[in-house]
Chains A and B, each alone.
Chain A
């Protein structure tokens, strides 16, 4: 079967779903947009990750990206509904007197971006979260963070896209097997089910992004799977209401790794606990970071380290039933910034991938930036730092 589409989005995770949603908002409802995923929608990283909406204040560039995106999430929830969205705020916990020195540093970072956060002492902390260990010396509370359930959010965005544009086609269980070219340009996407003639393709395949590029004879973009071990408790047992992060999390997470991701065997794995209360009263416990290829085998030793840290901060969680543990694969980009924009060597080929652990946070802004650039509208924020062209050889 041969069909035509104005745009084909490959990858039905949170990023691809957001791209489709934003395209449907900005383009005429007659635009035919086809989303293909080789498995279920939101069936890979988007259903095996945490759901944190996290504003990172380290520098102006990343703050603009994360803050704009987390604000967009609030609007999406108001408009679409149908997914769990909990603006819990985040507590950055100091474990020791040594850690506590990091609290004012992080505080200042938020102030430097014109935002605000609150330094809490031991007593204030206990008043806010009685379930915390009583000897935690202090923390920073940032009200702007939250938690969503990504797989339901992906479905909600696609339903929203289809409501606005009846020509949006969602095709799970439909793997892309190759491309047809017309000179440099893309002429068609070949899938298991059909050949889709199109001039515009968005590659939003997360950790599988490099493989799609290779089908076009392009060099591998430097995105590597970075594994995270996660566990979730049963319902109505969570002793906490706020999202918790060790303040030392900032050292491991969302920072460039000094481990070479191509040399996976030497990676001992970083870890810092992140705990997220769920709507049903459960608690999601993460997370670890390790380069070890595409394996989704739970590393029990690393999982135990996360649980140990969780018990340290929230002693009550030790008696909570764990109902499941699993591994999610984050798409880590080698320079620690996502790839959002056109892939210049192949006209009409776009990339939206490489968000590592901030894919959920950054999904709305990623979709918006891609859609604005495809539609020829001035982007909401400067897209230059994220252009994939920085890796073009």
Chain B
């Protein structure tokens, strides 16, 4: 069960969609962290077998958390959320 640590201060709400579900994020979140806090740990289907994958390194090294933002493949752990962005699962469709 994931979520956010209480008492660290609040930031502006940023709403985006992931695979057609609405996600409430905060200004300054990466896509990966917004999804994790939302309880969504799977973000990609692996390239050949289509197995569920999520964050591994969380620092831009492993490319396991790739997602598709408005048609472009990006690392969800280094890409910041923007209001209204459309995010889809990366990898094999």
Contacts and interface: CB of A to CB of B under 8 A. Distances in A.
Q: Do A and B associate with each other?
A: yes
Interface of A: 234-237, 280-281, 316, 319-321
Nearest to A235: B47
For the residues of B in contact with A, the DSSP-based class is loop
Contacts of B72: 319
Nearest to B93: A236
Contacts of B91: 235-236
20 contacts: A234-B63, A234-B66, A234-B73, A235-B47, A235-B91, A235-B92, A236-B47, A236-B73, A236-B91, A236-B92, A236-B93, A237-B73, A280-B47, A280-B48, A281-B47, A281-B92, A316-B71, A319-B71, A320-B73, A321-B73
Given A236-B47, A281-B92, 19 more contacts: A234-B63, A234-B66, A234-B73, A235-B47, A235-B91, A235-B92, A236-B73, A236-B90, A236-B91, A236-B92, A236-B93, A280-B47, A280-B48, A281-B47, A316-B71, A319-B71, A319-B72, A320-B73, A321-B73
A119 B63 CA distance: 41
Contacts, number: 22
Contacts of A316: 71
Contacts of B92: 235-236, 281
A236 B48 CA distance: 10
Contacts of A319: 71-72
A185 B58 CA distance: 63
Interface residues of B, number: 11
Interface string B56-93: 00000001001000011100000000000000001111
Contacts of B66: 234
A160 B47 CA distance: 27
Contacts of A236: 47, 73, 90-93
A316 B72 CA distance: 9
A3 to B, nearest CB: 40
Contacts of B48: 280
B54 to A, nearest CB: 17
A92 B41 CA distance: 44
Nearest to B63: A234
A236 B93 CA distance: 8
Contacts of A235: 47, 91-92
